[in-house]
Amino acid sequence: MKRDNLGIIMNKVALITGASSGIGLETALSLLKKGFTVYGAARRLSLMKKIEENGGTILYLDLTDDNSIETCVKTIIQKEKQIDILINNSGYGLGGSIENVPIEQAKKQFEVNVFALIRLTQLVIPYMKKSPSSRIINISSMAGRFSSPFLGWYHASKYAVEALTDSLRLELSSIKIKAVLIEPGLIKTPWGTIASESIKENTKNTIYENAALNVSNFYEKNYSLQNGSASNPTVISNAIIKAVCAKNPKTRYSIGKYSKLFIFTKKILPDRLFDFLVKKVMKM
């Protein structure tokens, strides 16, 4: 990997999805400071002006539209001839009881969080083969390592990202492309509000409503951008930068509030005891 006198990677092209806010935006700005050529992609172009102002390029990307995904990659290749770093950051949390979440909503959750991620990866890998030490950074979640109530479909999508990335890491090892998982804990982003609202919407007037309201309140309180106790998005963008720049990155970076704790606790406790603790924390 070519570096300058300060050890900074040179001439690398990075594509970041979900770059309109939070982790994606912070990561785009950090990579620009490191000297990367950065393409930020999202549906809301107006929210990515900071990327342009700092020397990056912004692209429209709708992850539910395969044509949009293909156009995004083609646009970069036509101009740069390469993509060295893919950061699959886009995703959202679908809440509600398993019984009541409409299947169409569940399919969309997988379309955005899983299938679009893999489709982008499929399109980018052929160009990464030409670039030594290319990186695929998949933003999973601590939610990919355990499950909690009223976010079942979100957990399932992140479990899938974990499994697919593990397989990808093995498959790509012989051609020097590294696949890395980032597992954020509670982070101050709009994710919590979106998940909280969908939990309430998909449990309204059901037998789950009261329990779900407590869970929803947990996310609203902890993810509040003003008063929440969640970690700042910069802790995740810093981990992503480490994964991008390290000669031998870790396979997983568990970072942010509760990430290491919840993953470790799930690993060592029997299921029923872990369930008890989750319900206690969420006041169910």
Which residues belong to the active site? 154
Which tokens sit at 95?
């809440």
Helix (H, G, I), strand (E, B) or coil at 240: helix
Nearest CA-CA partner of 112 in 100, 94, 95: 94
242, 27 in Cβ contact below 8 A? no
199, 154 in Cβ contact below 8 A? no
Residues in the chain: 284
Residues whose CB falls within 8 Å of the CB of residue 18, separated by 6 or more in sequence, listed in order: 24, 41, 42, 89, 90, 91, 139
Q: Is 174 exposed, middle or buried (0-12, 13-18, 19+ CB in 10 A)?
A: exposed
Phi-psi region of 118 (alpha: psi -120 to 50; beta: other; left: phi over 0): alpha
Cα 116–Cα 235–Cα 50 angle in degrees, nearest 5: 65
Residues whose CB falls within 8 Å of the CB of residue 79, separated by 6 or more in sequence, listed in order: none
